[in-house]
Structure 1
């Protein structure tokens, strides 16, 4: 039976839990900060796993003294814990306390304020640098989930962030469970020749995964010293996250929720996108879009482009050092891979680097290799042509 009940609404913030005390301390600080911010609520915290108090025990204890409890999953996206574990415990505990009202809220999810937080963390990281935004690449790294829906929500947030700024490019990537993995994304990013790469952790709290991200970024910097790198701070107990929780709690109490169109730029004033469309601008945008399509026509002679074009110097100096056999080996390796339609090797005259050859340049990447020998051909084909990984030991320069 229920004991004496508090007249205040109870809020149980549910975190994941970690084996690292520092991460749990951050969660507990978040709960404490939020409790201080909302004296009208009785706020407590609990964990799904790996730490105490566990969610089920905390909910049981809370229900003894509170007649209405909002359960707030402090998760960036809805996956297994929010879709399965929390509802199962709520169902069990609610049967034990039939006079207590249990109100589950949504996870943070795809929310306009998360764009604001991404902009904030990016500006904080880059404010002491001189790198131009149009030459800066941003890799937003998430934890990764076995839930494809959660991963797709992460992609949506990152895409909205890219649309709302002027960085060289923005790329979503993961630290585990699913792909693309951070180390592979860094290799791809290097090919696009940014002056700087900023890794932006999409994490609420610190811990081992952010440490792993830092280690992988450090390893990348060793192999690509000409690209400056840095990592931004995670979200932590930020005012913006508190405001999202305010909204989630209010939705749970009122029985309302945000529609999927809540992040539609035609309805919501998204940070960084307000000058693009909205209201009357949306109508004009639509009219212009239709007009543009009405004027378009298919190309008369469509044909597939080469993915990469390899130019090898075969002038007298490079030829003396083996460029002929290098060209033959490159063509043989490409043929063996079955990619003759994608890659072409062309014999060219002097590339202007006499004495340093054989010289080889790959377009459209703009990667120049020097001192390339026939035994290097399989590595160039396998790593650079087929897997978009620069053979750093042979790099002479990268065209900016």
Structure 2
């Protein structure tokens, strides 16, 4: 049976992020069995969309497709949107499509993150050496309306700090939940550490990396007594590629590992009990393949932001807009309300900036 692997990306309004994902996908085949074919696709914004990648594998004669979510943690995209596209395609074309685990909390991913942090610390020490015990590590994750994914960011942060010996660790998020980047860094600045290392636990560049670094610059300007150091994101680190390859090959093992062990759609999670059994459907058909140059891909066409996207556009529109200032509501569905939406250190902190 001919086997194909589909790397399922989220997609981005940032061309650099789309290019980086494609580069990663191109580096994957040598790490897989020789006779396996590899394709990739995106859930939203960018081309090719997931169906295009599936079409190419099917047309190449693949009777079995192993799909791997190109995501660090399992939140709505990995638990709802991608499986919906895959299961619909499998039913339509009568093809065997398996779905693997997200990258998740994995020793290889932690090693890759440790390398990125170490590179930043070594470069900073070359200018001014500061002991790790006098350094606070701040790990910034994506942020989701899913406590499972958010909790995994905190676990990664703890394992990095404990493994490397930092004086303290704080965990923040780029959107949706709390604390967001600015309140997280302001809290870290109160702790009395000489240096703060800001590490974005992200695969690729893009608007959210710009946001993290932008807020870091702003908070650093307010605290000249503290040295702020920006670590690089994960990118195509060899250990990241190893983990992606494992997420494909483990699907054909004797007992494929389960995905989504602590899923708010399957079991009651504190604060999210109402979402058990929610219908799994994709909400991204409206932005499929729109391209990274869609309105909102930069701050030039946004009158709410200056040098980087703060996320205020999403908040002002009631989180209905995917784009800056294009004036159209692309969402016609309703998610369960995020129970902590009014938290003062969450998205509301961005609204207060404007006021």
TM-score by length of 1: 0.61
Q: Does 1:104 align with 2:99?
A: yes
**What CA distance in whole angstroms lies between the structure 2 residues aligned with 1:260 and 1:45?**
22
Q: 1:93 to 1:259 in 2, by over 3 A?
A: closer
Query: Mapping of 1:293-312 within 5 angstroms?
Result: none
Which position in structure 2 is the counterpart of 1:80?
Answer: 76
Query: Mapping of 1:260-339 within 5 angstroms?
Result: none
Query: Mapping of 1:7-22 within 5 angstroms?
Result: 8-22=2-16
Q: 1:48 to 1:10 in 2, by over 3 A?
A: same
Which position in structure 1 is the counterpart of 2:24?
Answer: 30
1:140-176 CA-to-partner distances (Å, cap 9, x unmatched) read 0011111122111211221222222311111110111
Q: Does 1:118 align with 2:113?
A: yes
How much has 1:61 moved relative to structure 2? 3.6
**What CA distance in whole angstroms lies between the structure 1 residues aligned with 2:91 and 2:113?**
41
Q: 1:175 to 1:239 in 2, by over 3 A?
A: same
Partner SS for 1:176: coil
1:195–1:227: 8 Å Cα contact kept in structure 2? yes
Which position in structure 1 is the counterpart of 2:245?
Answer: 246
**What CA distance in whole angstroms lies between the structure 2 residues aligned with 1:63 and 1:135?**
55
Partner SS for 1:145: coil
Higher fraction of strand:
1
Partner SS for 1:12: strand
2:68–2:102: 8 Å Cα contact kept in structure 1? yes
Question: 1:90 pairs with 86, 89, 92, which one?
Answer: 86
Q: 1:91 to 1:178 in 2, by over 3 A?
A: same
Partner SS for 1:219: helix
Query: Mapping of 1:95-174 within 5 angstroms?
Result: 95-98=91-94, 100-128=95-123, 129=125, 130-174=129-173
**What CA distance in whole angstroms lies between the structure 2 residues aligned with 1:160 and 1:126?**
17
1:103–1:253: 8 Å Cα contact kept in structure 2? no
Which position in structure 1 is the counterpart of 2:57?
Answer: 62
2:136–2:167: 8 Å Cα contact kept in structure 1? yes
**What CA distance in whole angstroms lies between the structure 2 residues aligned with 1:157 and 1:224?**
27
Structure 1 spans left out of the alignment, 5+ residues: 1-6, 262-400
**What CA distance in whole angstroms lies between the structure 1 residues aligned with 2:76 and 2:258?**
20
Q: How large is the Cα RMSD of the aligned pairs?
A: 1.8
TM-score by length of 2: 0.68
**What CA distance in whole angstroms lies between the structure 1 residues aligned with 2:73 and 2:9?**
12
Larger Rg: 1
**What CA distance in whole angstroms lies between the structure 1 residues aligned with 2:216 and 2:185?**
8
Structure 2 spans left out of the alignment, 5+ residues: 262-355
Residue correspondences, number: 254
**What CA distance in whole angstroms lies between the structure 2 residues aligned with 1:217 and 1:25?**
25
1:139–1:171: 8 Å Cα contact kept in structure 2? yes
Partner SS for 1:62: helix
